[in-house]
């Protein structure tokens, strides 16, 4: 196997230091290119030199009010009881902004002027010299500093420059960056993807962030895996750009020629950093141009680019690297991490009571949605083995704090209605966001117990009483005042491929036919239901192939069936219907929300309850999913 490239494992700090040194050696931060732009076009740009006023503003003595221009000396001693009369040649009508006529030295407001006759005005107050006159340079005097170097231009700054006759200025030219997607497996969005083909969307994400960080970024056409065209493209790109981003080709797969090509063309500064995700990143210099080879997975690529490229752009523009906004939160569940590796974990955040809880928003370097959902990033440093549940952690916010504060934290059993609730709440003003972690019904109860969630979804059948949820609350949340409010009744059943090709009717068919099943995780209500049905049918778990293969949501089970990796799994009708699968009904079950009493008056919880009770359009949306009955939706089933 021809896989000889050695990927090192440099500590992050060291990698950053070496990289910064290499960039400095190649004068990356000294280039400071500039360009002349019209002030009309300079909004948001950075000044490359201080801007001084060209002329004074105002550039003439100007009336500051609508009224008449006078000689202040004429009004000496004027009062209501002994007003002064001015003949036509001793006053002149002026509007705000008019030049003060030659020889005049004050303005009287129109409100204070009485027209005594066609040729005379009467004034009942004296005037002070230059009253209601904007004198030359009152706002800005020619040569005065308007904007310092390195200032980001706002609309008002444009006004100040134009007001003093400055119409062109020198601004910093942002670094030109290009993102080159590589890989023969790439297809364009909208093209149908065959197995093994990957929609090329990374370059859009990467170019978008580069632009946001201040670069002038563009995307190149995807390159097939071919060393020679890679070589040519990199050479041309490094001549035309200040920063070249390759994605992917950073790891050591058989078709990853990138490192070899970069080593031939220039110098590899770092290949492999002790971070997760993002380990195989390549930092290289070709000519004097930095070339960054990012890993192929979108999350790895984004996080790695954030670590190494964001501060390059700031440095190029002479700006400070943006200070991360750090916030303290409490970890809702334990997280393991490898010693020696800086691990970056995406988390959602939510204020539950007085505690800001952090929950991982998903794992896997390919999980784009984990970044879409993320409110923040947790770094588990190389020296740590992980974080315990309830531990305080420092989170770097990637979403404004005000949005985090408006988050309702839902932890518990998964149901498709949650997506609908999330969307409805997001449309409200002020916005309410839902952060939902699908950890099963028991996981939800435990989250409520640990004060980690505002509410939990639960559908736990007590085999002895035949009742849902209540006995579990009494057992696990005995002293907590709470309400149990019904969300829905829903069909549970076996999800099978369209047309039910394996002709599955029940679990016996699965066991006898040696069919592949996919299970839900322990603590899930659906898992309890599965086990109850297996018990009633006297089938041992060992007889079910795939019993140990667990998924966390109904949709994941349905997706596994749709993808053909399994034959069937237990789930709700809505999930089967969403993916156009068939469904063998097994039971109707009750799905309730657990709400601690102290959150009942919470604005976000109230919004959910009102939505459940009163919103007809919302009920129709739910029923359209299929398999739901809303006869008790919003009803209090139990309180303690």
Q: Distance between CA 228 and CA 222 in Å, rounded?
A: 14
Minimum distance, C-beta of residue 404 to a copy of itself, in the bound complex (Å): 14
Q: Are 60 and 136 in contact (CB under 8 A)?
A: yes
d(CA 517, CA 511): 9
Return the number of the residue (331 or 575) whose C-beta is nearest a copy of itself.
575
**Residue closer to a copy of itself, measured from CB, 406 or 492:** 406
245-264: which residues touch a copy of itself (CB under 8 A)? 251-256
Q: Do 265 and 231 meet the contact criterion of CB atoms below 8 Å apart?
A: yes
- Partners of 242 in the β-ladder: none
Q: Which pair of tokens denotes residue 310? A: 């964001």
Strand partners, 638: 484
Least Å distance between CB 468 and a copy of itself? Answer: 26
Could you say which residues in the range 505-544 bind a copy of itself, by CB under 8 A?
none
Q: Which tokens in the block code for residue 308?
A: 């190494």
Q: DSSP H helical segments within 464-553, as ranges? A: 470-476, 507-513, 525-536
Residues 6+ apart with CB under 8 A from 572: 415, 416, 490, 491, 492, 493, 554, 627
Residue 42 or 357 with smaller CB distance to a copy of itself:
42
Q: Convert residues 395-424 into a mask of x (bound to a copy of itself by CB under 8 A) and - (unbound).
A: -------x----------------x--xx-
x/- map, 277-296, a copy of itself, by CB under 8 A: -------------------x
> How far is 424 from 604, CA to CA, in rounded Å?
12
Question: Residue 414, class by beta-carbon neighbours within 10 Å (0-12 exposed, 13-18 middle, 19+ buried)?
Answer: buried
User: What is the x/- site pattern for a copy of itself, positions 114-153, by CB under 8 A?
Assistant: -x-------------xx---xxxxxxxxxxxxxxxxxx--
- Subset of residues 1 to 40 that bind a copy of itself, contact rule: CB under 8 A: 1, 3, 39-40
- What's the closest the beta carbon of residue 22 comes to a copy of itself, in angstroms? 20
- Provide, rounded to whole angstroms, the least separation between the CB of residue 208 and a copy of itself: 3
Q: Shortest gap between Cβ of 618 and a copy of itself (angstroms)?
A: 13
Window contacting a copy of itself (CB under 8 A); options: 93-101, 437-445, 473-481, 585-593: 93-101
Q: 198 Cβ partners below 8 Å, 6+ apart? A: 183, 185, 186, 187
- CA-to-CA dists, residue 15 to 272, 275, 285, 307, angstroms: 9, 10, 14, 10
SS3 assignment for 139-195: CECCCCEEECCCCECCHHHHHHHHHCCCCEEEEECCCEEEEEEECCCEECCCCCCCC
> Cβ closer to a copy of itself: 191 or 385?
191
The verdict on 429 binding a copy of itself (CB under 8 A) reads yes
Letters for 301-340 (x = contact with a copy of itself by CB under 8 A, - = none) are -x---------------xxx--x-----------------
Rounded Cα distance between 411 and 359, Å, is 10
Instruction: Give the range of 48-56, 227-235, 446-454, 471-479 binding a copy of itself by CB under 8 A.
Output: 48-56
- Extract the tokens encoding 487: 């969300």
Q: Which is nearer to a copy of itself, 27 or 631 (CB)?
A: 27
Instruction: For a copy of itself, give the closer residue by CB, 40 or 264.
Output: 40
N residues, the chain: 640
Pick one of 261, 460, 488, 562: the residue that binds a copy of itself (CB under 8 A).
562
563 binds a copy of itself (CB under 8 A): yes
As to burial, measured by CB atoms within 10 angstroms (0-12 exposed, 13-18 middle, 19+ buried), residue 617 is exposed
**Residues in 172-191 that interact with a copy of itself by CB under 8 A:** 183, 185, 189-190
Site for a copy of itself in 354-383 (CB under 8 A): 362, 364, 366-372
**Smallest separation, CB 266 to a copy of itself (Å):** 25
- Among residues 154, 475, 540, 603, which is the contact residue for a copy of itself, using CB under 8 A? 154
One residue of 247, 258, 556, 568 binding a copy of itself per CB under 8 A: 556
Whether 595 contacts 384, CB under 8 Å: no
Part in contact with a copy of itself (CB under 8 A); list of ranges 173-181, 206-214, 232-240, 588-596: 206-214
Q: Does 48 bind a copy of itself (CB under 8 A)?
A: no
């Amino acid at each position: 196997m021809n896989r000889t490239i050695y990927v090192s494992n440099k500590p992050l700090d060291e990698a950053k230091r070496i990289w910064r040194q290499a960039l400095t050696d190649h004068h990356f931060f000294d280039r400071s290119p500039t360009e002349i732009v019209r002030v009309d076009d300079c909004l948001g740009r950075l000044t490359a030199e201080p801007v001084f006023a060209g002329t004074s503003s105002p550039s003439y003595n100007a009336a500051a009010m609508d009224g008449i221009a006078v000689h202040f000396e004429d009004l000496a001693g004027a009062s209501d009881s002994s007003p002064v009369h001015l003949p036509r040649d001793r006053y002149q009508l002026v509007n705000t902004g008019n030049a003060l006529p030659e020889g005049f030295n004050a303005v009287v407001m129109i409100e204070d002027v009485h027209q005594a006759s066609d040729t005379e005005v009467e004034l009942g107050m004296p005037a002070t010299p230059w009253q209601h006159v904007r004198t030359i340079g009152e706002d800005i005097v020619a040569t005065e500093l308007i904007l310092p170097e390195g200032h980001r231009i706002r609309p008002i700054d444009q006004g100040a420059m134009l007001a003093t006759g400055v119409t062109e200025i020198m601004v910093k030219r942002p670094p030109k960056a290009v993102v080159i997607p590589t890989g023969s497996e790439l297809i364009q969005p909208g093209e149908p993807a065959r197995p093994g083909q990957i929609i090329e969307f990374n370059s859009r994400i990467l170019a978008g962030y580069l632009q946001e960080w201040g670069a002038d970024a563009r995307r190149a056409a995807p390159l097939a895996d071919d060393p020679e065209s890679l070589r040519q493209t990199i050479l041309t790109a490094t001549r035309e750009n200040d920063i070249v981003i390759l994605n992917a080709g950073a790891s050591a797969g058989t078709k990853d020629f990138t490192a070899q090509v970069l080593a031939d063309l220039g110098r590899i500064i770092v290949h492999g950093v002790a971070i997760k995700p993002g380990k195989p990143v390549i930092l290289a210099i070709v000519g004097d141009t930095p070339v960054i080879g990012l890993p192929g997975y979108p999350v790895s690529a984004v996080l790695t680019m954030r670590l190494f490229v964001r501060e390059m752009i700031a440095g190029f523009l002479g700006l400070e690297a943006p200070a991360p906004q750090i916030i303290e939160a409490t970890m809702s569940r334990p997280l393991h991490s490898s010693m020696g590796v800086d691990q970056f974990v995406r988390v959602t955040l939510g204020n539950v009571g007085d505690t800001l809880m952090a929950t991982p928003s998903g794992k896997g370097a390919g999980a784009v949605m984990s970044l879409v959902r993320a409110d923040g990033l947790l770094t588990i440093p190389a020296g740590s083995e992980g974080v315990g549940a309830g531990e305080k952690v420092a989170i770097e916010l990637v979403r404004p704090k005000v949005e985090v504060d408006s988050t309702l934290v839902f932890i518990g059993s998964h149901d498709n209605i949650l997506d609908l609730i999330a969307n409805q709440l997001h449309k409200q003003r002020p916005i309410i966001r839902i952060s939902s972690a699908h950890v099963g019904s028991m996981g939800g109860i435990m989250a409520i117990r640990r004060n980690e969630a505002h509410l939990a979804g639960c559908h736990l059948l007590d085999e002895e009483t035949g009742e849902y949820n209540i006995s579990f609350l009494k057992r696990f949340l005995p002293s907590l005042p709470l309400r149990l409010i019904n969300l829905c009744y829903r069909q549970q059943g076996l999800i099978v491929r369209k047309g039910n090709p394996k002709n599955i009717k029940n679990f016996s068919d699965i066991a006898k036919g040696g069919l592949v099943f996919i299970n839900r995780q322990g603590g899930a209500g659906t898992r309890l239901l599965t086990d109850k049905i297996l018990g009633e049918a006297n089938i041992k778990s060992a007889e079910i192939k795939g019993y140990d293969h667990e998924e966390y949501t109904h949709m994941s089970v349905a997706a596994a069936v749709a993808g053909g990796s399994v034959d069937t799994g237990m789930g709700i009708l809505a999930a089967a219907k969403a993916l156009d699968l068939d469904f063998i009904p097994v039971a109707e079950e009750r799905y309730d929300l657990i709400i601690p009493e102290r959150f009942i008056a919470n604005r976000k919880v109230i919004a959910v309850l009102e939505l459940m009770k009163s919103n007809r359009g919302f009920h129709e949306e739910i029923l359209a999913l299929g398999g739901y009955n809303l006869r008790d939706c919003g009803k209090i089933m139990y309180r303690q």
